[in-house]
Structure 1
Amino acid sequence: MLKEINENSFVLQVPINKQYHRFIIGKDGSIIKKIREDTGTKIELPPEEDNNNDTIIITGKKESALEAKSRIMKILDEVVNVSQEEVNIPYKYHNYLIGTKGKLIQSIKDECGGVNIKFPPQDSKSDKVIIRGAADDVAKAKSLLLQYAEEREQSSFTAEIRTKVTHHRYLLSKGLGKVKKIRETGARIIFPSDQDEDRETITIIGKKEVVEEAKKELERIIKDIDNLVEDSINIDPQYHRHFVAHRGEVLNQIIQDCGDVSISFPKMGSNESRVVLKGEKGALEAAKTRMEETVQELKDRITSEVIIPQNHHRSIMMNYRNDLAHIRSHYNVLVRFPDRPQVEMNGGDHSGENEEGGVRKEDIVVVEGSEKNVEKAKEALLDLIPSELKMEVPYEYHRTIIGVKGQKIRVLQDDHNVRIEVPRPEDRLDYIKIKGRKADLESTKEAIAAIVAKLDEDKEDREKKSFQLKMEIDPIHHPKIIGRKGETVNNIRKHHDVQVNFPKRGDPDEHIITLVGYQESTEAARDEILSIVKNLESLYKDEVQIDARVHPRIIGAQGRSVRRIMEEYKVDIKFPRQNDPDPNLVIITGKEDDVLDAKDRLLNMEDEFLQDLEHRSEVEPPRSAHTDNAYANQNGNHNDAPGFVVKGGPWEQKAPDTASTQDFPSIGGGSSEITSNNVPWGPRR
């Protein structure tokens, strides 16, 4: 049994595009069923919904499976002009062509009509790739594979260049390093690591033309590095921090302004003053001059004081941090705010003067820098002191300025770097307060003024759009103005952009229709409604008496019958309401000839229905009085008839007396006189 199982467990996978599976299956599965029976194999096709799987699996004896595959391929060859071709593609590009999770090769298959592309096993290192499918699709797939392989080969071109390890630092430094610009061309430049045996070889990878150009540029830069000049300058260690602080902001600016130069400061804390510079002679001299000027400025720095009330310090440092940083960098000054004093229990005076009229030390801000820049920085700092502006804004606009959950007012504050205070709603005050710098106050005021102007314009527009026009229209015409399912009145509303309000039935002003909108729009809508009414009034109207009993038959289920009549004769038929004085009165409106024709039709229908009722009354047997009474009671016509009465029910029986020997005689003793009309458990019923 084991041997037989092993012999019948051979599995063969045959990838065939799904569009050809139907030819292999045949009508009602006849072809594949025949193959299964003849070869004794199990043939499984992938599910229809699985678009990513087109492999047919054959299971059975090896020779039987091969025979089944041969028959399947023969069918495929008959249906399609199948072609097979081998393509030599270096095996090192196979993984690239297959792509992540086979996405690239699947896209090639889909683009080429679902051809079958088979790569050799990875460990075989074979270059042969087999493509099978329709001849045109195979040719297209071959072209794409070779194209992608060629692009990969071109982008993998490699070149090497050797240089001293000491040059690597200059190549990668911000001053001399042009490696970043070379990499932007698409070339990949790899420097050796400390663990590499060969630390002098730099590798360049990319497209051939890009790599060759990058190699030439690197060789030129290395040649320039060999010709670089090295010099030094002595700078007092106390000034070193100024150059390297804030991630070397000052030093990077010097390198950017002066050109290709490398500047190396000694280690912090070494107390050495020698700073080494290396680069082209002109750039090196310019950098030295710039550094000497910077040191001289540091030596010539002065300290000045500016009085800013202490209660504004926090807002200047926190709310206007960007402005404060700009002042420090633009004027090259140092701004120091005093420490915050401890809050006194009884509060403190933050006006800027103490009790003797002098200046409080908590209000003194120190500015340090060159003499010409310090004064400008002081003026800029004073401009940062927040001011307050009271602006008139109507109370009804406050909610709009605030926005949903304060969203709009936060945007205003962030955009203009201010603080906006809106009075409490219950105060109903017509102003708002703006706090911030003077320049920001003006810009905020302009922004809010634009919002208020827009709101005023909208308010005026709403008032114009609230114009009301009342018109008297006979209620009998209201349904026609409304139209079926409101179609007519909705068209009027949409066309003229107005509201059309109809009164409720039974209101004292039932005849008045109100139009709301722009005056010219309401007048145009009024004219259109009057035109409809005029047409209605010009129509011929006729009243006809039709027995109310046949009204439901004429109207039909959900009004279908009467609508059919109205459409046929192009008239309007109105039946009486429940509370109308004459329940038989039917009104027909339309052109005179159409009304008369419709009237004849209704009268004929009435005659037919009445005859039908009379015929039914003759055929049906007369009802008994009892049936009539019961029917009357069911329909709510209560009279003196007793109706249906149940007699002799259990609830009317008298309960037996348990103390009575007659109802409950003793068993086995006592009187034996039992009448024929009585039983031990009570009288017969």
Structure 2
Amino acid sequence: MGFKECCVLIVSLHKSLISPKQHLIDSIMEECGRFNIFFSRKKSGFQKVIIRGPAENVEKVNKKFLQLLEEEKAKSYSVAVPVKSKYHQFLKSKNGGNLPNICVKEGARAIFPTPKNRDQDLVTIIGKEEAVKEVKKELELLLKDLEYVVEDSMMINRKFHHYFVMRRDQLIREMTEVYAGMIINFTYEGKQSIRVTMKGEKACVEAAKKHIQRIFEPLGSHVTTQYVIPQKFYTFFMGPMYSRVQQIAKDYKVQLTFPDKEKPTMYIHPAVQENVKEKGGKNTKELAFSNQRKCKTILVSGQMENCKAAMKALEYLIPVTAEVQVPSCLHPYIIGHKGSGIKKLMSEFDVHTQVLQRGGNSDIIYIMGLAAKVEQAKIKLEKQINELQTKLEDHVLRNFKLMFTLDPKYHSKITGHKGLLIAQICTEYDVTIHFPKKGNRKIQDKITITGYKENTFAAKDAIMRVLYKIEKTVSKEIPLNHQVRDSIVGFGGKSMHKIMEEFHVDIRLPPKGSWNPNITVIGLPDNVQEAIDRILELEKYYLSTVINYDSQMDTIRNSCFYKITMDSSKCFIKKDVPHNAKGTPNSPNDDSEEFPKLKQQTPLKVLPWRP
């Protein structure tokens, strides 16, 4: 049966338990079995934990937590070491005591007081007991060295003195702050040297000397070289937003000074900015930038190897100019609407282009830029020119015009109904066919075919074949019995259209309401004759059907009339008349009941029979 057990955990262990990255609870559950754990919501320095589960599992978990607490306590061993606040910055600095690095080596950590803490002269070291003791020993040794005030000096080249006083003595102020208020003085030793005297705690003075040596030793090999470029390349050389020169200064750790008419423009890599910026400024002030020749000069300052590499990179930045032969007729296509085409080429390859105006050698387009970019742009432009020339040649070939004469009386027959025939020829041969306008009286027999040469001749042959058919076409009229005409034509003219498609003829019927019984068959002689034979066969067939139908109707009509006559004779017998009555009988009256009038029998309307 499960039970409850409380366990008090320190905050650090509580964070380890709830951290999803450490998976501490999962590992405990695998080791001790399943259980439930509940954390309290109280926001205090300690956290209360409730464990529920089988008694055996809970016992194992309790022991495991106690073990973890002991380990956590061992890791949380701390010692407070009194350290004057003026030494804190020195201990933190990499160029000073570098206490954080010592703590990392020993597996501990040092906590310096913040401005909110009351006691500003205590540094707390936390970690395992052994590690904390080792760090404490190192710290005590540093503090002993700091208690002894010493004075030391070193010689530097006089030309490097300005590094200390540049930017309002920034370097001196930084060293004084880092090295616990160390005093720095300068005395001139001859024309070439300056003695730097440092007075302060022993450890601070030694660290400051090493710092100064690291700054000025590389400056012994520091050189400044000049690189001259044509003035016309100055803008291109700088690049958009000075990106090219900034990248070179960053890649090769040099200082680039670009003289200007009014003031110099300098680009320095951040790593060497502290060391060489003021020097570059001083040298450029001494240069006469008002001289136009200096406007073409670039000053490269830095280590010898870096300067050589930067000079090669600068040589690569010198733009080259390539000439591309472009026919003047293609210039509008290359330039594009409002220069959109040439602007796209410039932005894509980061080059400049120049198109000469009319009057000069207008067949040449100049491309200026970096060698690789210019080559790519040139290839792209040449490819574009080839495509345009191909399109223009194709346009010329497509615009081949073939003119021939054709009698105007055939024009309407060639075009066909609503121009369908001529449209079919145009689509089949990919050509355009122009007929003369009706208002033009001078030229009425000229037809123009536009397209590829082969296609135009093929289209002409097609028209001539149509013309041959038209010339060979005959027209014959045949009478068609009105009783069977509808049957031959069919519903919606389907039967007639079927005959037209089968024999390749055109059959025209008289308009509705016309008394003309003739139909017209148009086509080639053989086709017309075959179509007429078929129509006559159909007429004969339908007429025989109608005659048989009429004879049957006459027989039915006669039998019906005889029956009506026999039934009517019975109506003349006199009823209720005296035998001795005298008088002359009245003649039959049509309106009398004894002699009713027989209505005239109208023949039934004969409807044509349709299969």
The answer to whether the superposition gives a TM-score over 0.5 is: no
TM range (shorter): 0.3 to 0.5
Higher relative contact order, chain-length normalized (CA < 8 Å, sep 6+): 2
